[in-house]
Each structure stands twice: as C-alpha cells, then as structure tokens.
Amino acid sequence: MHDLMHDLAKYVSLGECARAVDVASLENVASTVRHICIEHINNLSAEKIIKITHLENLRTIIIKGMKPINEVTLNIVEELVQSSKSLRLLQTNLWQTSHFVGKLAILKHLRFVGLQWIPPESICGVIKLYHLTTLECRYMRIEQEQLRDVANIEAQVNLMKLSISNFSGIIVSLWAEKLVVQNLVKLELQGLGSCEQLLAIEKLLTLEDLMLVNIPRLEKIGQGFDVSGYECTELFLPPNLHNLVIRNCPKLKELPLLPPSLKSLYIKEVGLTKLPGVGKVNNRSSETASFRWLSIVVQSCQSLTSLEGSLFEQKQHMEAVTYLRITDCVQLESAPLPFEEMKQLSRLDISCCPKLRTLRGSEDKLLTSSLRRLTIGHFGELEGSLQGIPLPDTLKSWVNVSIVECESLSSLGGLESLPLVRSLEITGCCKLTEAGLSLNLDVSGGGEEHLVVPRSSLRIQKLRIDHPSLLLVEPLNSLCQTNKVILDGSEMESVPEGWLLQNRSSLKSLSLLQAKSLESLPSSMQDLSSLEKLCLTSTGKLRSLPYLPSSLKKIYLSRCNLDLEKNLREFGSLEQTKIYSYFIMGKQCNKETFEKLR
C-alpha cells in the first residue's frame, strides 16, 4: 500500500515537482516544474546542473550536499536562485552561501529561508523581506557596525517563525521590545554564547513555541514588572505560550511565571533552584485560568532541591497533567506532588533522585486510575518495598511498569494493587535479587513438584528481569498467565524450569540474553505447549538444545556457541531433529523444503 501511494503521488505531481538525486534524474526535468529538490549536489557535475537553470517558474528550491561544492557549481546555483523571481521557499545545508544571500532581498515573494550561514552584510536584506514568515539560520553573526541597523529595522508583521544560532541576545531583546517581530509564533535560539539576558520576551503576545538551547551564560528571561497586590517584581512569559523548552542553561536560576496556555514544559541541564508557578493572564487570576492539558519534564537539574512553592502546589492546574517526568535531579529532596489531583496522568517517571523522600504518607493520594506507564528507580522513598508509592487501587486499562536501579528495594509488596500489568521490567535491584537468592531454592526447579499454587490475581503479559532468582520473590513466584519472558543477565547459570512450567499454557516467547554462564536448557522445554519463539544470545557455553515443543515457530541465535549454530544449519543433524516445525513466510513446511528454500 505504501508503494502504491508513493507511485500515485509521483504521478499526480509529475510536471510540478522534481527530485534530482543523480545524473539521470537531471536529464528530463520538465520546464513546468515549480518545486525542485537537488540532493548530493557535490556528486553532480556543473554541466548537468546547468540544464535546470532554464526553469523560470520555480517556487521551491531545496539543495542538499554533504561536502563543499566547486566555484563553477556555486555560480550556477547562484544564477538559479537569482533568476527565480517567484521563489517562495529556499532551503540549503551548504555553507557556501555568501555569494548569493545578499541578492535574496530582491526576491520579494520569499516566505521561507533556511540557511546555514548569513553573512553580516546580508542580514538586514534578508530580515526586511516583507512576506518572510520563517527564517532558519544556523549561524548569524552581527558585527559592531551592523548592530544599530539590525536593531532598528522596521516591524516584520509577517515573520512568524525564527530559528537562529550563534546570534546576539541583545538584538532579540530589542526586537521584542520594539515589536519588530510582534507576530512571532515560534522562536528557537541556540548557541548564544555571550547572551546573559533575554528581556521583553513577554511582549511577544502571539508566541506559542519558545526553545532556548545551549546558552551557557543566560541568567534572566523576561522583563520585571511591579504586579498589583505584590510587594515583589515578577517575571512573565508570553501569555499564549504553548511549548517551552530550555536545555543546557546552567546559570539560569529562576524562570518567569508560566501562562495557563502552556501545554509542554521541558527543562534539562538548567541551574534552577526551584520551579516556577502559574501567573495571571488578561487580569484573570491563576485561580480562574487553568491548563487544558500539560506535559512536564524536569531532567538533570543539579541545583533543584525542592518543588515547594511551584506550580505543583497550585492544585487547580494539576488535573491537566498527562505526563510527568522527574529524573537525574540528585539534590531534589522535597516533592509534594498532588497525585490525587492528577486525574488525567497517564505516564509517570521518577528516577535517579537519590535524596527524594517526600512521597511518604501519601497513601490517601493514590495515583489516578488512568495511569498507563510507571517508571520508578533510585530515589530515597524506596527503602524496602513499593508501599511508599501511591499506586492506584483500580486501573482503567493495562499499565507498563519499570523498576530500575532501586538498590534498597527488598520486596515487591504493593505490586498486587496493579492487577493488569502489560509489561514489568526489574533491573539493577541488588537487594531484591539477594532476597530471591536467600530463599535457598533451586531456581531451575525440576518438574511438577516445584510448581507454585497461584495466590495472586496479578497478570503480567511481558516480564523482563536481570536475574532468575527474582522469580522466587512474591508476587512473581505465583504468576501463571505470562505471555513473554526476557531473562537478561550474565550470572544466569540455569533456567527457572518450575516457573516456566507454571506458565506453560500461556508462555509464547522466551528470551535468554547475555547468558554467558548458561550450559544447558531443561528437558521440560518440550512441555511448553504454547511456546512460539525462543531467543538465545551470548550463550557460548550452551552446546546442545533439548527437544523443543511442536508449537515453536522461530528460533533466534546470536553470538552463541559456533558448534551449536553449525549443527542447527546442518540438515539431518541431531540438533535439527529436536525442532519439530519449520516456517517459511508464515507457512509450515517439512525439513526438506525448509533446507531447499533456506
């Protein structure tokens, strides 16, 4: 179906669009083409490229190249761009654009300009394009002599998207102050190495997306104003902002108040000591204006110690939170999260916050039943069991749970409150592994006498663990309806035979990964009547397979014993006789057919 749709699109656009990827595709470009994309231009000769300079009605020119092009080819590109009087879109990843960027000012119909570099003498000409709506530039340097001219250009009422790197933060602040870019919808600033302040950002009333990346000296965002009823000066963000992304701004200690229009907040590697609250918009208090939905990610903020006094204490806004992730905040101690108010929360990730201990006593603040994904790991609250986590007592649907690097966790008590678990991953929990080993039971079991009578209503479709001893820990030891199991660990010396037999009617997939110490598989593998897939990786000591069930459809071996792999490929070998079924493109066949078509 995909190929049919692609062929249909090519047929419909024939004569309007052309994509040149090699010499052959440049041969028959129709004169009616209005949109052209030239890829790998550095691999095309100037004699071939010159054939498309006759195109007079181009609206779109996209040029891509991995290496610099020679001067002759560059002149041809310049002629092509300069002669395209009706050009709407120009985009290229070539750095050699200084020749023709200065002539873009005469292309009055340009709406979109995407360049790697704009030389200082050409900046004003590009920005003054009346119809320009989107400007993307990786490197735009302002010389001292151009500073006044660039700062005092006329208002660009049509410019809606501005994405620039290595630019002057002062210019951006002046543009915002003088409303030069008053209709901006999207603003991306990256690599402003000397920028310490971004002022007047709040005056960009139409701004919806703001991205600030790799601005190491940035200390302040927004202009301060005296707020009626307050004794302090508050900082504000644009009132209609939807998405805010701030990355790698280590000196930024404080953020302005957030507008209720916000939908996504992403903060990574920022020097914040606290998170902001929600401010007032259009003379309405934050009590009457709230988010529709909100995604919050706070990651690698090493100076963040508390979430108190932030938007998390404005409970009227918490109902809109759908995704919450707080990770790698090593100094975070206090996080009063109002889970009882997060009625739309579908994904929660709290990990690598070793000092975090404020989830205690939250039994009356259960997580919402709408939860779909839960990831917890390496934070101070987990000092024994999962009882400190406010797990929901009911769920609307299946949930995915990851418990990673919880070194102090020694029990899975509380997991039973999640009766429908689509996927459970437990890795790096050393005390929990020790708890399983301390039971002094033979993990490999040995038949029916080791089966555990199910005592839990917990259902887990997919289980991934890094040590088989975890299967002895309650409530995992009572599982009997698991569909997929992944055992990942170099310390695995045997396979949990009894537990596998306990799940034999439901187990469809078994993966033994990085099992470098595994020497054999139990003979009862043949009794796993529902097993369809077996995956073995890095099992160098495993030299032979037991007889496998007739339900098996696929066997994957990677970095295994060379003799075992060779014997499996050899028709009529003992190892092949242990495999009952062979499948080719989903169809069952006998061994002879499989060998001929393999």
Instruction: List pLDDT tens digits, range 428-485.
Output: 888 888 888 887 544 444 444 444 555 557 788 999 999 999 999 988 988 988 999 9
- The pLDDT, as a whole number, for residue 152 is 64
Same domain, 304 and 429: yes
Percent of the residues in the chain that have a pLDDT greater than 70, as a whole number: 78
DSSP letter for 50, please. G
Q: Are both 319 and 375 inside the same structural domain?
A: yes
pLDDT in tens, 360-378: 444 455 667 788 888 888 7
The larger pLDDT score, comparing residue 224 to residue 249, is at 249
**What's the pLDDT at 282?**
55
Round to whole Å and give the CA distance between 433 and 452: 19
Question: Which of residues 396 and 204 earns the better pLDDT score?
Answer: 204
Q: 288: which residues sit within 8 A by CB, 6+ positions away?
A: none
Kindly indicate the confidence band of residue 235, based on its pLDDT and cuts at 50, 70 and 90.
Answer: low
Output phi, psi for 449, to 5 deg: -70, -15
DSSP for 310-342 reads SGGG-GGGGGGEEEEEEES-TT--B----GGG-
- Is 286 part of a structural domain of the chain? no
Relative to beta strand 60-63, strand 89-92 is: parallel
User: What is the per-residue pLDDT across 525-581, written as a single tens digit (0 to 9) for each?
Assistant: 999 999 999 998 998 888 888 888 889 888 888 888 887 777 766 655 656 566 655
Q: Which letter, b or e, does each residue of 285-297 get, where b requires 16 or more Cβ atoms within 10 Å of its Cβ?
A: ebeebbbeebbbb
What DSSP line would sit under 431-481, residue for residue? HHHHHHHTT---TT--SGGGPPPP----EEEEEEES-GGGGGSTTGGG---
Whether pLDDT at 231 is above 70: no
pLDDT > 90: what percent of the chain? Answer: 25
Report whether 175 contacts 159 (CB < 8 A). Answer: no
List the end-to-end C-alpha distance of the chain, in Å, as a whole number: 27
- Let me know whether 431 and 554 are in one domain: no
Radius of gyration for the alpha carbons in the chain, expressed in angstroms and rounded: 31
- Band of the pLDDT at 6, cuts 50, 70, 90? confident
Q: Is the predicted pLDDT of residue 355 greater than 80, yes or no?
A: yes
Q: Token digits for 460? A: 């887990």
**pLDDT class of 383 with cuts at 50, 70, 90:** low
Question: In this structure, is residue 40 part of a structural domain?
Answer: no
Residue 445: the pLDDT is: 45
Backbone angles phi, psi at 51, to 5 degrees: -70, -20
Mean pLDDT of 76-92: 90
Whether 353 maps to a domain, the answer reads yes
The answer for residues whose C-beta is within 8 angstroms of residue 590's C-beta and 6 or more apart is 582
Cα distance between residue 308 and residue 199, in whole Å = 27
Residue scoring higher pLDDT (150 or 562): 562
Residue 527 lies in domain: 480-597
In a domain, 408, yes or no: yes
CA 330 from centre of chain: 22
Q: Are residues 419 and 538 in the same domain?
A: no
Output the pTM of the full model: 0.79
Q: Are residues 404 and 507 in the same domain?
A: no
419 and 513 in a single domain? The answer is: no
Identify the three-state secondary structure at position 497. helix
Taking 60 as the threshold, does the pLDDT of residue 225 lie above it? no
Residue 499 is inside which H or E element, if any? helix 497-502
Q: Are residues 320 and 428 in the same domain?
A: yes
In a domain, 528, yes or no: yes
Residue of 511, 505, 512, 461 lying closest to 482 (CA atoms): 461
Q: Would you state the pLDDT for residue 233? A: 46
In a domain, 77, yes or no: no
266 vs 298: CA distance, rounded Å: 6
Neighbours of 72 (CB within 10 A): 12
Look at residue 592 and tell me if it is in a domain: yes
Rounded distance between C-alpha atoms, residue 166 and residue 122, angstroms: 16
What whole-number distance in Å separates Cα of residue 433 and Cα of residue 409?
Answer: 9
Q: Contact 209/238 with Cβ under 8 angstroms?
A: no
Write a three-state SS string for 62-125: EECCCCCCCHHHHHHHHHHHHCCCCCCEEEECCCCCCCCHHHHHHCCCCCEEEEEEECHHHHHH
Q: Same structural domain for residues 388 and 496?
A: no
CA distances for 576 relative to 58, 250, 422, 539, 559, angstroms: 63, 60, 34, 18, 19
Q: What is the pLDDT of residue 288?
A: 46
Q: Are residues 324 and 395 in the same domain?
A: yes
Note whether 297 and 404 are same-domain residues: yes
**pLDDT score, position 30:** 84
- For residues 305 and 410, membership in a common domain is answered with yes
Whether residue 342 is predicted with pLDDT greater than 80 in this model: the reply is yes
DSSP, collapsed to helix, strand or coil, labels residue 271 as coil
What average pLDDT does the chain have? 80
d(CA 175, CA 181) in angstroms, rounded, equals 6
Question: Residue 572: what residue type?
Answer: G
In degrees rounded to 5, what are phi and psi of residue 324? -130, 125
In a domain, 579, yes or no: yes
Domain count, the chain: 2
10 CA to centre of own chain? 32
Residues 326 and 395 in one domain: yes
Instruction: Provide the pLDDT for residue 141.
Output: 66
Give the whole-angstrom CA distance, residue 509 versus residue 493. Answer: 20
309-337 per-position pLDDT tens digit: 899 988 888 888 999 999 999 999 888 88
